Amino acid sequence: MKLLKTAPVSAWFGMIVILFYVVLMLFAPILAPFGETEIVAYEFEPWSETYLLGTDNLGRDMLSRLIYAARNTMGVALITTFLAFTVGGFMGLLAATLGGWVDQIFSRSIDVLMAIPSLIFALLLLTIFGTSLGNLIVVIALLDATRVYRLTRAVAMTIVVMDYVEAARLRGEGLLWQIRKEILPNIMAPLVAEFGLRFCFVFLMISALSFLGLGIQPPTADWGSMVRDNASLITFGDITPLLPAGAIALLTVAVNFVVDWMLHQSSGLKE
């Protein structure tokens, strides 16, 4: 609590926005006035007392779709980010701890994958293997795990050479014990901050793929596909398509505000 009291206004703004989105994600069925896929009126109904944000191209309530999209988009992004950190983080810790040929094989393989633009690679893989939700999560997680690997390996390399790690090794402690007790606790600060940034990148990639038709598939609500489905309204001066785009931008800015504050705290710098 003492740390939160010293947080700047930007960090408080970010935390409040994130909390608001989490509430939407957890209580979407209760907060949404209509069902996620329920057709309630004619297509492109204007804003009114009944339909506060109008209806979409199929006559579904836009406000309800926005609320459900918070659960779908953020939920998929969280699962994907956790998977990316599990795979990339573990590989990075192994590479830093074992070194030698393990480090070389992992690092050179990651270099090859990182040489290909992520969005193009994701489009290629999803076109080959299909656009199911499982494929979407696995493909983006594996691509993002390359970035997690590079960071984890870099910060872990500065820890494995410390005397206390060498002492644990000489005592005969196992590899997993060294990672869990000596290395991981000392690199958690940058990893937690990186988790926030990776979540933003994953979140934006899912939205971009959905906009292109290869992300979360209809009729599931998703902010990226909602922008695409209602884009024609912009030509008539209607700002409805900008609402899901604004939801994406607001969450991204909020997470970055919190991550910046966390990085500042972990660095030990003072105002």
pLDDT of 268 higher than 60: no
Write out the residue range of the structural domain in which residue 152 sits: 6-267
Using an 8 Å Cβ cutoff, are 206 and 80 in contact?
yes
DSSP 60: B
Query: What φ, ψ does residue 54 adopt, rounded to 5°?
Result: 75, -165
pLDDT of 78 higher than 80: yes
Q: Please count the structural domains in the chain.
A: 1
pLDDT band of 30, cuts 50, 70, 90: very high
* Structural domain contains residue 1: no
* Structural domain contains residue 46: yes
> Residue 224: which CATH number?
1.10.3720.10
Q: What are the start-end ranges of the H helices in the chain?
A: 2-5, 9-26, 28-31, 62-98, 100-114, 118-129, 133-160, 163-170, 175-177, 188-211, 223-229, 242-267
- The segment with the largest mean pLDDT, out of 17-21, 34-38, 70-74, 98-102, is 17-21
Name residue 55's beta-bridge partners: 61
| Cα gap 138→135, rounded to integer Å | 5
Degrees, nearest 5: CA angle 267-269-271: 145
Rg (CA), the chain: 22
Residue-wise DSSP of 116-181: S-HHHHHHHHHHHH---HHHHHHHHHHHHHHHHHHHHHHHHHHHHTSHHHHHHHHTT--HHHIIII
* Structural domain contains residue 197: yes
Q: What is the mean pLDDT of residues 240-259?
A: 90
pTM of the model: 0.87
> For the chain, what is the mean pLDDT?
87
* Structural domain contains residue 211: yes
